[in-house]
Amino acid sequence: MVTPPLPVMADHIVAVEQILQAAGCRVHIGDVQEREPPLPYVMLQASPGRPVDVDVAQRQVELDETLQVTVVSSTPLNCLRDLADVRETLNGAELQVPGRRCFPLRLTGSVPVTVDREVTRADTRMPPAYAVDSWRLASTPLQEDT
């Protein structure tokens, strides 16, 4: 029996990035390289992926992971508005990942909007505000070799 490949988390994150960019969002993955990126923006963070085995052969072909989506904006109120737009875009979205069937994204958690007092932006002379949502990201192979 051929061992199927583990799911590739990077492919899933790129699919989320594409959905957000198509909606007009600026997206960063894992880190922001610019000193003062234009606001608002979205940052995606996830582990490398946690494959799950679902059969007696213990083939780890399923993916069930938490995706952290951080929205950064100029003020707490703007952050709430921008987060609402991101949620509308992602809620129920089905990622297009080659060789995978992705389940609709589902919001599973959130933290309150916070102001980053350690940063003062030169353009606004104010600290940015951010909020973090957690989304369930799950997929399965389109077809398995038996």
Cis? peptide before 40, omega within 30° of 0 = yes
pTM of the model: 0.88
Distance between CA 143 and CA 146 in Å, rounded? 9
Token pair in block for residue 50: 């946690």
pLDDT in tens, 54-107: 655 556 678 889 999 999 999 999 999 999 999 999 999 999 999 899 999 999
- Local confidence band at 35 (pLDDT 50, 70, 90 cut-offs): confident
Strand, coil or helix: 89: helix
Task: Quickly name the fold that domain 9-141 has.
Answer: STM4215-like (3.30.2000)
Token pair in block for residue 96: 């297009």
Residue ranges per structural domain of the chain: 9-141
- Local confidence band at 134 (pLDDT 50, 70, 90 cut-offs): very high
Kindly state the average pLDDT of the residues 31-51.
Answer: 89
Distance between CA 141 and CA 58 in Å, rounded? 15
